[in-house]
Structure 1
Amino acid sequence: MDDRSHWAPLVITPESTGAAATPDGLVGHLRGLDGLGALLTREKALVFRGFRVTPAELEEVMDLLLPSRLAYVHGNSPRTKVGQNVYTSTEYPPEFTISMHNEMSYAHSWPARLLFFCDRAPATGGATPVVDGVRWLEALDPEVRERFAGGVRYRQNLHGGTGFGKSWQDTFETGSREDVEAFLDGTGAEYEWKKDGGLRVSQERPSTARHPVTGTEVWFNQADQWHVAGLGDETAAALHRIMPEQDLPQSVSFADGSPIPADHITQVRDRGLECAVDVDWQTGDLLLVDNMLVGHGRRPFTGPRRVLVAMSD
């Protein structure tokens, strides 16, 4: 059994740093920290706990942890923008699990870092599971890895203001078709405007990626979240009764257009969750992750839960 089987995020506390158990203590520690990037690359994920951070101090902390905050442009998850490139975590019914994924791994470019902030911890559950991308890749059957080796093709149907799923206006944070076209032209995606005012986007992406610093190969795609089989049999059947797969808000195939078997999708989903380590939230916690080395998700919960997220390159 190798070290990856024991991996967990590094927990940084006032006790471990000698800093005061206050937001100012965390800020002072971060300002004096030499080599945050190297530390994050080595540990893959960092939890800052016990510093009693509130939304009032979040901006200053984010400026130190995220060098350049990004807008969630071309993001497919339902979120609410609550500040300067600060969003709610995925808004999904609390009784459901969100499977493991690397943020925007389906896109031409993706954030290098993610920062989660727990504004309010849930009554029960609601952990953010995190998974080592190398371990996730190695947990898959050789046949599945081989089938995915040629990459995948993602397809989006974005409505023009009214419809099922997300609109292109919300997805690209603009009401300008010209701005959307300029963005997509720079990604190599294929796209077409539909007669009903919607937008269809198709893009081919690899299924794995190599980290620019470590060179390690990680599982890096969201096929299980874009495939109807990843939603469960009942939901998949209900969606098929409503519309054909090519008209769903999002779908995925192998890069050559051939269908991905449902059992491949469920294996990817389930083994990612099985390999994950839960970060159980306490109000005021922060979680910083290397978005290539680590996937994340969400466990079901009860009671109010408010976790915010920001991203950087």
Structure 2
Amino acid sequence: MATRGIFKEVKLPEQKCYENGLVFPMVLSPNTNNTSDLNVFEEAIKAEKPWLESHLKERGVILFRGFKLESPSDFNDVVEAFGFPELVYLGGRAPRTNVVGRVFTANESPPDETIPFHHEMSYMLNYPSKVFFFCDEEPESGGETPILLSPILYDKMKEKHPKFVAKLEQHGVTYGGVVGNEDNLSHGNGNSWKSIYMTNDKKVAEERAKKQGSRLEWMENGVKEITGPLPAIKVLHEESQKKSWFNNLTNSYLSRKKGIFFESTLGNGEGAPDDVMEDCLRIMEQECVVIPWKKGDVMLINNLMVMHARKPLIKPPRRVLAALCK
């Protein structure tokens, strides 16, 4: 198990170990008693940043546990210590509120609802490369944030549906959705076009949408967004040609079943067959890792490599905050 500076790798029963020896996710705890001082943690991050980044690239997720962060401000200081540029949430569909500095609420949809697996903002040209989560209030029960290695999903989908995956790689995905004039907090994609593009001016919204690879078609009750085609599969490492399942197809499939119009098609206009999407959802559930939150946990996710989701909250409270990085 890896040890560096004040960081000591530990094992949790929920982790997965793959044939190549990869343990997912990486979990780091302090190997010193001097953890009550947040500055010690921050300085260790700065000193060991290349080592931490190398493991993030290899493992996909690092969960920092036991470092005694007490507040959103503490979390903001930790995010700042990493020095990653901030990604402004322009174009994002999920309702969020700024808490402090670079820290926002995570998706504000009803906490008893599931949020399906997704790469953050994969339906846009500009998406974060890294996502931080922080557990400010530990759930009594439920409310976990499952994580999933997309290269594993890609390999299994290619094995089960090689022709469909070949089409995905050739044509990419086009995303389309109807967005309302007012925010709707009843579901996870509830931002209005005004919130998505941070303006009440339709012309400004059109300009900002264009920079995100989208075009807008105005309707009486809102606007239809059309984006793409965008790549549906990402090559993570040129040398190994390791690939990641980087698309929002299953999320759109589930939204459509709920009567929420967020349609995804292949770039050639073909739809994704229902049986393929159901198989994809089954693989996601089989391969994901679900670690219950503990107060003060910080989870750093490689957004190109790992999907995340949210399980329904069974017993409150729960407060998980987020920060997005370029």
Fold match by TM threshold 0.5: yes
* CA distance in 1: counterparts of 2:121 and 2:182, whole angstroms: 22
Look up the equivalent residue of 2:202 and give its one-letter code: R
Deviations 1:82-135 (A, max 9, x none): 233422222333343322211111111210100000001110122211111110
Kept after mapping to 2: 8 A contact 1:80/1:87: yes
Look up the equivalent residue of 2:104 and give its one-letter code: Y
2:41 partner SS:
helix
**Which residue of the partner structure matches residue 300 of structure 2?**
288
Q: Does 1:26 align with 2:41?
A: yes
1:27 partner SS:
helix
Q: TM-score, with normalisation over the residues of structure 2?
A: 0.82
Kept after mapping to 2: 8 A contact 1:4/1:135: no
Q: CA deviation at 1:218?
A: 0.5
| Count of residue correspondences | 296
RMSD of the TM alignment (CA)? 2.5
Deviations 1:175-234 (A, max 9, x none): 23333222222233232223x26222111222211126775210000111112xx25xxx
* CA distance in 2: counterparts of 1:146 and 1:34, whole angstroms: 37
* CA distance in 2: counterparts of 1:4 and 1:12, whole angstroms: 20
My pick for the range that moved more, 102-111 or 293-302, is 293-302
**Which residue of the partner structure matches residue 220 of structure 1?**
246
* Stretches of structure 2 lacking an aligned partner (at least 5 in a row): 1-16
* CA distance in 1: counterparts of 2:207 and 2:57, whole angstroms: 33
**Which residue of the partner structure matches residue 5 of structure 2?**
none
**Which residue of the partner structure matches residue 155 of structure 1?**
176
User: Which of 248, 267, 277 is matched with 1:265 structurally?
Assistant: 277
* CA distance in 1: counterparts of 2:247 and 2:217, whole angstroms: 23
* Larger relative contact order (CA 8 Å, sep ≥ 6): 1
Kept after mapping to 2: 8 A contact 1:19/1:25: no
User: Which of 194, 199, 203 is matched with 1:174 structurally?
Assistant: 199
Q: 1:155 to 1:115 in 2, by over 3 A?
A: same
* CA distance in 2: counterparts of 1:5 and 1:301, whole angstroms: 33
Q: 1:300 to 1:66 in 2, by over 3 A?
A: farther
How many percent of aligned residue pairs carry the same amino acid? 25
Trace 1:1-313 onto structure 2 (pairs within 5 A).
Answer: 3=19, 7-15=23-31, 18=32, 20-22=34-36, 23-35=38-50, 36-55=52-71, 56-140=73-157, 141-143=160-162, 144-149=164-169, 150-161=171-182, 165-194=190-219, 196=220, 198-203=222-227, 204-211=229-236, 215-227=241-253, 230-231=254-255, 236=257, 239=259, 248-302=260-314, 303-313=316-326
* CA distance in 2: counterparts of 1:178 and 1:54, whole angstroms: 43
* CA distance in 1: counterparts of 2:303 and 2:232, whole angstroms: 15
Q: Which runs of 4+ in 1 moved over 6 A?
A: none
Kept after mapping to 1: 8 A contact 2:46/2:82: no
1:252 partner SS:
strand
2:84 partner SS:
coil
Kept after mapping to 1: 8 A contact 2:173/2:266: yes
2:63 partner SS:
strand
Q: CA deviation at 1:66?
A: 4.9
Q: TM-score, with normalisation over the residues of structure 1?
A: 0.85
Look up the equivalent residue of 2:90 and give its one-letter code: V
Deviations 1:69-90 (A, max 9, x none): 2221111223333233422222
Q: 1:116 to 1:152 in 2, by over 3 A?
A: same
* CA distance in 2: counterparts of 1:5 and 1:296, whole angstroms: 22
Q: CA deviation at 1:249?
A: 4.1
Kept after mapping to 1: 8 A contact 2:145/2:291: yes
